[in-house]
Amino acid sequence: MIKNVPLYDSLVQELGDVKVSIREDNLKDYSEDMTEIKGHPPDVVVSASCKEDVLRVVQIARETNTPIIPVIAKTNMGGLSIPSQGGIVLDFKSMNRILEVNKEDLYMVIEPGVTFGDVKEYLDSYHPSLRFAYPLSPPYTSVLANCLLDGLNNLSLRYGPMGDWMNGVEAVLANGDVIKTGSGAFSPNWCSNSPLPDLSGLFLNFHGTTGIVTKLSIRLSPKLKYRKKLFVLGYDVDDTYSLIKRLTRDNLFDDIGGLSWPLGKMLFGVKYPVYKDPEEPLILVFLDLSSSYEKEMSLKIDILNDVLKEYRKKGAHFEDPFDIDVLMKINPEFSKFADLPATLDFLLDHGGGGVTWVGTYGPMSQWEKGIKIGMNILEEMGFPPVMVSRPMSGGHFCVLRFIVLFNKQDPQEVERVRELNLKLCNAVLDLGFIPYKTPPWVIDLMKDRLDPGFRKWVKEIQSLLDPYGIMNPGKWDVS
């Protein structure tokens, strides 16, 4: 039975019945993600294949006062692409063209459905001298979505989160206007966001509430000849994060991160570890480095060993660094770290179907404290202390992220996960950490902490760009 016959008829008339679906199983599929967030089925799902499709959908949504929820790979966590009140789910997986790669000016222009796997395959085949940055996410994850949500990548220490890689966007507004930002607003060469007013920020971290981005220009970088990924085992939180901060400031690496012991054990094949032997390491530190020169690579490794010797003289316990090839011989699962993007099966295929996290950006001065508090909360509530941490943008801030695997079919466990995430979120907010890819329930927690002027103008900007209230309503709602 069709819930909204006039809406369905209008969409079919404009786009054809091939692009419009009201199948019950399809609607249900778009009503949830992998988290504990409660969803709501859409009225209809539309598959867009071009900008003109988007314009038609926006016009119909505006005329019928129907919400539009943009979806790409359905991998967004935290309910960001789940309808809050029904409406039109606009799926972009068919808009998946890499429109331009400019080798000389180091950028590419892509559509929303382009994935990290698409980019890697394309660059490896046609532009092997160029590289892109990849997150610890599956190859089918959308590049555009990760950029607009300021996600991580394996060059984030050197170049920042993915929002910093954007040169500009093309976006469709609620009134049907189309806008280009960055140098693409002036020239066919879309190589920069400077020195024009940075209107790209109107779409960054707004979670689709200000418009629908249909094109993105994003930076590339040269692929350097030599690259290594090293691991160091640490046995104390304070010592390990003192080391990470030191190496961050020394500016030797493309990426540095710390994984707590349960993640390390999962990579060694332990399904869901709940016990750590006192003799086992607490943190697995990964170090990504590259260079055009073999001598520089050797020098970086020598410096790392010298720094480790300094720490050992002060009583810190660290193992010697080892290459990922060593880990791959022990367990082939480690190959997923060797060549991103990669699907981390142990996080996605654990049987229960549920994955959630409290992921934040915040001050490095509060890093160790946040790690200890968060890991303690996880253990106190009966969950393994799964934690990922990384310095960002040359050490100007850091990532603190706690991950939970759970059984989505068990209502009691789902409720326990909600309680856990609330506790974790309140704890890290108190330390100045700000959740990224922010779920709606976290926005509710943050409202009273936000600067009144900031809160006012977030709402003003949303109202200005979307006076009809049709753009992904319920997300980043500070009203």
| CATH class of the structural domain 98-222 | alpha beta
- 178-187 per-residue burial string, b: 16 or more CB within 10 A, e: under 16: ebbbbbbbee
Check residue 43 and give its pLDDT.
95
Domain borders along the chain are 5-91, 98-222, 226-435
Partner residues linked to 392 by β-bridges = 397
Confidence band for 357, pLDDT divided at 50, 70 and 90: very high
Amino acid at residue number 202: L
Q: What percent of the chain has pLDDT over 90?
A: 81
Is domain 5-91 given the CATH code 3.30.43.10 in the classification? yes
Residue 344: pLDDT over 80: no
Whole-model pTM above 0.75? Answer: yes
Average pLDDT of span 218-245: 96
Give the distance from CA 231 to its chain's centroid: 23
* DSSP secondary structure code for residue 332 in this structure: G
pLDDT in tens, 100-147: 999 999 999 999 999 999 999 999 999 999 999 998 888 899 999 999
φ, ψ for residue 459, nearest 5 deg: -65, -40
Inter-residue long-range contacts of 177-181, CB under 8 Å, 24+ positions, other chains counted: 178/51, 178/55, 178/214, 179/211
* pLDDT, tens digit, 9 for 90 and up, residues 427-473: 999 999 999 999 999 999 999 999 999 999 999 999 999 999 999 99
Q: What gap in Å lies between CA 286 and CA 335, rounded to an integer? A: 13
- Tell me how far apart the alpha carbons of residues 62 and 392 are, in angstroms, rounded to a whole number: 40
**Half-sphere exposure of residue 195: CA atoms within 13 angstroms, side-chain side:** 0
Asked if the model's pLDDT at residue 343 lies above 70, the reply is: no
Distance CA 118, CA 98 (A): 8
Chain segment 76-106, per-residue pLDDT in tens: 678 889 998 899 999 999 999 999 999 999 9
* Interval 412-441 mean pLDDT: 96
The amino acid present at 126, given as its one-letter code, is Y
- b/e sequence 322-352, b meaning 16+ C-beta within 10 Å: eebeebeeeeebbebbeebbbbbebbeebee
User: Residue 321: pLDDT band by 50, 70, 90 thresholds?
Assistant: very high
Whole-angstrom distance, CA of residue 196 vs CA of residue 192: 9
Neighbours of 7 (CB within 10 A): 22
Taking alpha carbons only, the member of 356, 378, 354, 358 closest to residue 446 is: 358
E-strand stretches of 44-134 = 44-47, 68-71, 88-91, 98-102, 107-110, 130-131
Element (H, E) at 212: strand 212-219
| Banded pLDDT at 322 (limits 50, 70, 90) | very high
More confident residue, 416 or 270: 416
Residue 195, burial from CB neighbour count under 10 angstroms (0-12, 13-18, 19+) = exposed
For 267, other C-beta atoms within 10 Å of its C-beta total: 19
Taking only the tens place, the pLDDT of each residue in 29-43 is: 999 888 898 888 999
What is residue 337's predicted lDDT score, i.e. its pLDDT? 65
Asked whether the beta carbons of 380 and 447 are under 8 A apart, the reply is no
How high is the mean pLDDT of the chain? 93
Q: Would the pLDDT of 9 be above 60?
A: yes
CB atoms within 10 A of CB 414: 18
CATH number of 226-435: 3.40.462.10
Are 290 and 154 a contacting pair, CB within 8 Å?
A: no
Query: pLDDT digit string (tens) for 300-317?
Result: 999 999 999 999 999 999
pLDDT of 287 above 60: yes
Query: Is 351 a residue whose pLDDT tops 90?
Result: no
How far are the Cα atoms of 136, 143, 155, 251, 271 from residue 151, in angstroms, in the given order?
10, 10, 11, 21, 27
CA–CA distance, 162 with 48 (Å, rounded to integer): 24
